[in-house]
Amino acid sequence: MKFTVSSSDLLKHVQVAAGALSSNPVLPPILENFLFEVADDRLTICATDLETSIFTSLPVQADEDFSVAVPAKILQDTLKALPQQPITFSVTPENRSIEITSSYGKYKVAGEDGTQFPEIPQPQNVDSVKIGSRHLQEAIAKTIFATSSDDLRPAMSGVYFEVDFNRLTCVATDAHKLVKFTTPHLAGEVATSFIVPKKALNLLKNALPNDTTAQISFNRTNAFFTFGDVLLVCRLIDARYPDYNAVIPVENPNRLTVHRSDFQNSLRRIAIFANKTTNQVILDISPNLLTLSAQDLDFSNEATEQMPCTYEGTPLRIAFNARFLIEMLSVLDSEEVRIELSTPSRAGIITPIEDANADREILMLVMPVMLNA
């Protein structure tokens, strides 16, 4: 049983699949392998950690159809060390021994029976929608950073997908910050919602090309993302997502407009002098002038900066975690941002000021830090 393939093409596909490999020693040892399945002169590569699975396929020259489990690490290391060239995999049926032949020599490794690889969920009883990969990639990139790492709140550890026919809303929150991203670039005839785990979305964001259409299929337990020659399968988070609309304040009479990168750079400098536990930076806002300040009483550190702004409302003094603000400003692209505020104890809303033709909506919410009296 053998097949021949380009070493560089195989490496590209193996690196995509490798994202689903697990480092958890509790899982069965066979999950440290890629499953290679050869059928009709096409090689399908699969990797899984039982929660997230990736399939990717490429053409090969094969003498027959077969499957074998190939040790992942040694295969990746070998392919990285080889220059681009045709290589041949030969598998001995009796003991699943694998011999890789290149122009430099031969390399042998012990494979395993492919039939022992766990079964991956198949798309059954699913609804499907389609979206441009660029729009899906942006939705993930703009929200995933706001997910929670708290194992006690599983719903918040993923991104909430709200599918509403031709509209997709993605929401992420960790109770300190919240991001809501809405795009109209969806083609579908279904309205539903589900929570996708962070690991699967990170893999998806890195694997998605910019110029294709992705299909999202889903049932009650799994989501299936198909694009190009890749299929990513993930188990959905079985939890109820919090009512995010209830925490978005509606009455925000105070509106601050600032240059995004200037504000972000100022926050970075001021945060150096802030208390390392709270990262508290105080904003004193008045018409045409924003004053940022921070202090760390334990080390007698303090800093103050001023910058121009546009402000509509009553003068306000409010404090935020600088790290959260910097993180949120980092994922925005606009030259200016608007921050809507009400009182020092209520959340602030950050939105980009963009061209009127912008084809998506982004709303960010950040909770204030209580000011010391």
Ordered DSSP codes for 282-347: EEEEETTEEEEEEEETTTTEEEEEEEE-EEESS-EEEEEEHHHHHHHHHT---SEEEEEE--TTS-
Which domains does the chain carry? 2-116 (3.10.150.10), 127-245 (3.10.150.10), 248-366 (3.10.150.10)
Indicate left, alpha or beta for 136 from its phi (over 0: left) and psi (-120 to 50: alpha): alpha
pLDDT digits (tens, 9 = 90+) for 16-35: 999 999 878 788 899 999 99
Neighbouring CB atoms inside 10 A of 250's CB total 7
Query: Per the structure block, which two tokens stand in for 360?
Result: 């998506």
Average pLDDT over the chain, rounded to an integer: 94
Which pLDDT score is estimated for 357?
57
Quickly state the pLDDT bin for 356 (edges 50, 70, 90).
Answer: low
Q: Is 33 exposed, middle or buried (0-12, 13-18, 19+ CB in 10 A)?
A: buried
In three-state secondary structure terms, 45 is: strand
Give the mean pLDDT of 139-148. Answer: 96
- pTM for this entry: 0.92
pLDDT digits (tens, 9 = 90+) for 189-232: 999 999 999 999 999 999 998 889 999 999 999 999 999 999 99
pLDDT digits (tens, 9 = 90+) for 290-300: 999 999 988 99
Which pLDDT score is estimated for 372?
65
Query: Per the structure block, which two tokens stand in for 65?
Result: 């159809």
CA atoms within 13 A on the CB side of 226: 11
Inter-residue contact 72 to 34 (CB < 8 Å): yes
How far apart (Å, rounded) are the C-alpha atoms in residues 202 and 221?
A: 19
How far apart (Å, rounded) are the C-alpha atoms in residues 48 and 117?
A: 9
Parallel/antiparallel/unpaired status of strands 177-183 and 167-173: antiparallel
DSSP string, 198-215: HHHHHHHHHH--SSSEEE
What are the residue ranges of helices labelled H in 1-148? 7-18, 72-81, 133-143
Q: Give yes or no for residue 52 having a pLDDT over 60.
A: yes
How far apart (Å, rounded) are the C-alpha atoms in residues 252 and 212?
A: 40
Q: Looking at this protein, which amino acid is placed at residue 96?
A: R
**3-state SS of the chain: helix, strand, coil percent to 5?**
20, 45, 35
Inter-residue contact 145 to 156 (CB < 8 Å): no
Which pLDDT score is estimated for 373?
46
